[in-house]
Amino acid sequence: MESMTGQLLVATPTLKDPNFDRTVVLLVAHETGGALGVVLNRATEVPVGEVLGDWGELAGEPAVLFEGGPVQPESAICLARTKPEVKRRLSGFHPVAGALGTVDLSADPDRFRDAIAGVRVFAGYSGWSAGQLEDEIAGGSWFVFDALPGDPFVNRPDDLWSMVLRRQGDILAAVAHFPPDPLLN
């Protein structure tokens, strides 16, 4: 099994689970025991600073918490992107793909201020047991695409699902215009 860590799962129009309808999930871990990811396009209205104090100053727009998924919504996962000039290993930063990684929220945010270009904080996460995600992909629930470094930090997260599909080109670009409810079309 090849790891899909750092890749995007894009819900196909046939995936009607309300937890994942039209979602884009970044896989932050994928191994033989299962997979873990965060939903990138479900912003809440709760400011990061209201819940995590000074971390709010590092959050990109919109600077709110995101619903990372249905598992443990009381927990938080923080994604960050290091600045291009940062070449040293940062304590408390765990790489996912390239400059993208997770950050330990128990650390002082000032330690990261000069090294990261922004953070996004997710309440909860999306998780799959061993083989479950692979079965869902084979069953047509998810498209799997390479992530771009800016995907987790787009200013208009509601547009991310169609944006990722459009950039694939050909027939997948047409899927971006699939109506939420084809019966109403």
- The DSSP annotation for 146-159 comes to EPPTTGGG-S-GGG
- Domain containing 157 equals 7-184
Please count the structural domains in the chain. Answer: 1
Q: Is residue 50 part of a domain?
A: yes
pLDDT band with cut points at 50, 70 and 90 for residue 120: very high
Q: Is 84 exposed, middle or buried (0-12, 13-18, 19+ CB in 10 A)?
A: exposed
**Domain presence at residue 2:** no
52-104 pLDDT, tens per residue? 999 999 998 999 999 999 999 999 999 999 998 887 788 899 999 989 999 99
Please, are residues 118 and 84 in contact by the beta-carbon 8 Å criterion? no
Classify residue 1: in a domain, yes or no: no
Query: Which residues lie closer than 8 Å to 139 by C-beta, 6 or more apart?
Result: none
- Flag whether 44 is in a domain: yes
Question: Domain with 15 in it: what CATH number?
Answer: 3.40.1740.10
Strand partners, 67: 123
pLDDT attached to residue 184:
55
Helix (H, G, I), strand (E, B) or coil at 175: helix
C-alpha 121/C-alpha 77 separation (Å) is: 6
Give CA–CA dist 105/93, Å, rounded.
Answer: 10
Whether residue 138 lies inside any domain: the answer is yes
Q: Does the pLDDT at position 185 exceed 70?
A: no
Q: Is the peptide bond before 13 cis (omega within 30 degrees of 0)?
A: no
pTM score of the predicted model = 0.93
Residue 113 within any structural domain of the chain? yes
Q: Is residue 134 part of a domain?
A: yes
What is the pLDDT, as a whole number, of residue 13? Answer: 92
